[in-house]
Amino acid sequence: MQIRPFAHCTQLSDSHSWQVNVAALNEQSGSWCFFVALTPLAAMIATQSNLTLSQPDRMKSIVPEHSKDGAHILTGALFISFSSIWVAWSQVDPVVSAFYRVFWGSSFLFLYCLQAKLLRPVSLKTAAYCTLCGLCFAGDLYCWHLAILYVGPGLATVLGNFQVFVLTLISLLFFGQQLRLVFIFSLLLAFCGLFLIIGINWEALSDNYRRGVFFGLITALFYAFFILSLRKIQGVEPTISFVYTLLLISIATTIILGPLVWLSGKSFSIPGPGSLLSLICLGLFSQTIGWSFIARSLPNILPSLAGLILLLQPALAFLWDVLIFARPTSLVQWGGVSVVLVAIYLGATSTRSHTQKRFVRGTPIIDDNSGKRSDAEL
């Protein structure tokens, strides 16, 4: 059963499936779209206000620069937290919503790169790695959108954040990381929190709900490989702009998902203006603006603080699921969400490499000024 945007969703206790009141769609679509679109825009305007001052005025600002960077990352996390909501509201098949996310994202990123004069030829090796990265990103988006369909936006996003543990395990096995007890503790804590959310009796869950949990965890696996392949791209061409890299990956992902839509027998048609608006917002806010805020400021603050701020993304996604889709959530499940978020934070900050690279949940970014790398959230 497909999740419909603006619908009043309830979760049946006996089958753990999503029941949708489609009649609510026409009644609430305009007001919800207007509210959700304005929320991150208002945050963007607020955090950008200091950047419009002249240079002497900026020097007199009473707001420290690191506070501005933290506000920018917070705004980016706010934008990205709506990603699963736009997907749920799009009223299209998961593979179709994944295609339109990168299609619109590529369009907006191309316009930005064209205006900023970031377009440049790349080597064949870089193009090959971008294709590989696009393949991983396509799998990530497809599995995540399926998880949203089966278990709702909130839990699907929390499950996708388990990629922290995949990346850390890879770092331990292949990149000389040292195993720390805090990582083992965080991994056990994460699965304890997950059991508090979904329940201990796995067999009692419906087939669709179990599929959703499975696809959510597969999302984490794809996302981890996406991050690793993106790191490889930046190692091959360290001077390339991150925004331009994201454009190349988005184009590659679009080319991969396009034929997949056709081969799966799905339609590229968009049901209506509300669905079109959701898909455009998904590409603009999540794929373009949210990433830009995080990429610009993440290298300038401590990785532990960045990781803590970025945890607001899955937390807010779960909150929007409860508020907008009326997801029934008990106190035990709220406790499980809190436990998982704490575990993700501990896992993300549990290791440090020999070269003192910063490992924060998400995608490595090169700071154009310093050339340092750090990690950001999608």
The closest alpha carbon to 213, from 159, 253, 161, belongs to: 159
Backbone angles phi, psi at 377, to 5 degrees: -95, 145
Tens digits of residue pLDDT in 160-199: 888 878 887 887 788 777 777 887 888 888 888 888 887 7
Distance between CA atoms of 69 and 124, rounded to whole angstroms? 35
What number of helices (H) and strands (E) belong to the chain? 16, 4
Distance between CA atoms of 273 and 235, rounded to whole angstroms? 42
Q: Which residues contact 151 (CB under 8 A, 6 or more apart)?
A: 159, 209, 212, 213, 216
- The sign of the torsion formed by the CA atoms of 308, 310, 316, 321 equals negative
Tens digits of residue pLDDT in 7-55: 333 333 333 344 333 334 334 444 444 444 444 444 444 444 443 333 3
Q: Which residues contact 34 (CB under 8 A, 6 or more apart)?
A: none
Average pLDDT over every residue of 243-249: 91
- Amino acid sitting at position 95: V
Distance between CA atoms of 321 and 328, rounded to whole angstroms? 9
Least confident of 116-120, 245-249, 340-344: 340-344
353, 295, 37, 324 alpha-carbon torsion, rounded to 10°: 0
Mean pLDDT over the full length of the chain: 74
Backbone angles phi, psi at 295, to 5 degrees: -65, -35
* DSSP annotation string for 314-347: HHHHHHHHHHHH-----HHHHHHHHHHHHHHHHH
Distance between CA atoms of 151 and 153, rounded to whole angstroms? 7
Average pLDDT over every residue of 292-312: 67
Distance between CA atoms of 354 and 30, rounded to whole angstroms? 52
Does residue 91 sit in helix, strand or coil? coil
Least confident of 103-117, 190-204, 208-222: 190-204
Q: Model's pTM, two decimal places?
A: 0.72
Q: What pLDDT, on a 0 to 100 scale, did the predictor assign at position 378?
A: 41
Q: What pLDDT, on a 0 to 100 scale, did the predictor assign at position 21?
A: 37
Most confident of 87-96, 237-246, 251-260, 338-347: 251-260
Q: What pLDDT, on a 0 to 100 scale, did the predictor assign at position 196?
A: 83
Distance between CA atoms of 22 and 111, rounded to whole angstroms? 36
Could you give the percent of the chain with pLDDT greater than 90?
A: 28
Distance between CA atoms of 234 and 212, rounded to whole angstroms? 33
Given pLDDT bands bounded at 50, 70 and 90, which one contains residue 138? Answer: very high
